[in-house]
């Protein structure tokens, strides 16, 4: 089965800090939907002032997989749907120091990345991505059927009850 792909641009922000242990904080601030042919393979500085620096990474995609349909549903059913950006600090010394690696709209995939020790931050989901995601979830998400809960029954497997101690 083929996966659907939606091109996006991630904007990362560096904020200087007045702290003796940490000089700056990096975080994704937005994920923007973009036309397929508008992707620039190189990060571009879009703002640089005293409040911080913003870099635009336009070479990312959100991929939809049928196996992640539950994670997409959980995200869309939340009061405020999010796009999750997994990012890492670059160790090559090049600018910018922080770079996005994976962009997803699945709660489950984001949770697995967090459990694996990755840095994952959420940003608000743009209207274009939500409009693209809703029909996919409607077509692919099938809730698990409710099953009757069985209580612990000592006689369920056919074992006789232990005889009572009759001391007299």
Instruction: Please list the pLDDT of the chain residue by residue as tens digits (168 residues).
Output: 456 899 999 999 999 888 889 888 999 999 998 765 555 678 899 988 888 899 999 989 999 999 999 999 999 999 999 999 999 998 887 788 899 999 999 999 999 999 999 999 999 999 999 999 999 999 999 888 888 777 776 666 665 556 666 665
Give, for 124, the enclosing helix (H) or strand (E): strand 119-124
Which residues, 6+ apart, have CB-to-CB distance to 53 below 8 Å? 13, 14, 45, 47, 96
CA distance 66 to 70: 9
Whole-model pTM over 0.85: no
Cβ-based neighbour number of residue 101 at 10 Å = 15
Q: How far apart are CA 50 and CA 23, in angstroms?
A: 14
**Confidence (pLDDT) at 2:** 53
């Amino acid at each position: 089965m083929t996966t659907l792909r939606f091109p996006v641009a991630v904007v990362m922000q560096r904020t200087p800090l007045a702290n003796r242990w940490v000089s700056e904080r990096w975080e994704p601030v937005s994920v923007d939907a973009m036309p397929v042919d508008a992707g620039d393979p190189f990060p571009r500085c879009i703002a640089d002032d005293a409040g911080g620096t913003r870099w635009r990474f336009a070479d990312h995609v959100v991929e939809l997989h049928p196996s992640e349909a539950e994670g997409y549903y959980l995200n869309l059913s939340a009061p405020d749907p999010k796009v999750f950006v997994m990012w890492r600090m670059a160790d090559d010394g090049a600018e910018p120091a922080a770079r996005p690696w994976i962009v997803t709209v699945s709660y489950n995939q984001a949770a697995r990345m967090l459990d694996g020790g990755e840095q994952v931050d959420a940003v608000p989901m743009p209207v274009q991505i939500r409009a693209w995601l809703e029909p996919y979830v409607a077509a692919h998400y099938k809730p698990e059927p409710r099953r009757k809960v069985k209580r612990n029954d000592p006689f369920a497997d056919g074992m006789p009850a232990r005889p009572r101690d009759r001391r007299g």
